[in-house]
Amino acid sequence: MKKKLTLFTHNILGNSFMIKYIFGAGFMLITFNSFGQEGQVTIDQDPKLKELHTLYVEVNSNSEDFYQIQVGFVRTDAQATRLKSQVEIDFPGWPTKIDFQEPTYRVKVGKFKNALEAERKFIEVRKKYPNAMLLRPENSTW
């Protein structure tokens, strides 16, 4: 019976050493990680990058160079605003706008650079707005 008791006692001592070792190692890792968060990041960027970004925004802001989808046209500004709000709900993240061309307000959605992308989105829009029309850029030969 004494042998079993000594083995049992040795096993308990071995486990407590292991537990102390694991907690000690964990404490050291936490300590090192908490102090390792200090630092400074420096980004060196080419000065022409700002110029390129400005040019990109300028080129992409000209709505005449994009395919758009006209969702509908209405007689009053209030109707156009309601339709625009509904389009923004139906197609979140797509640019929408209202154009006034006498005597109607036209609600347009999207800015698509190429005909393939515009056609794909047009099919999607037509499911919700069957009277929608795909508008091509003025300088397009399509």
Domain boundaries, the chain: 57-135
Give the pTM: 0.54
CATH code of the domain made up of 57-135: 3.30.70.1070
Q: Which pLDDT belongs to residue 33?
A: 59
- The per-residue pLDDT for 51 is 86
- Residue 8: pLDDT over 60: no
Q: Which of 25, 24, 128, 22 is nearest to 69 (CA)?
A: 128
Mean pLDDT of the 119-128 span: 95
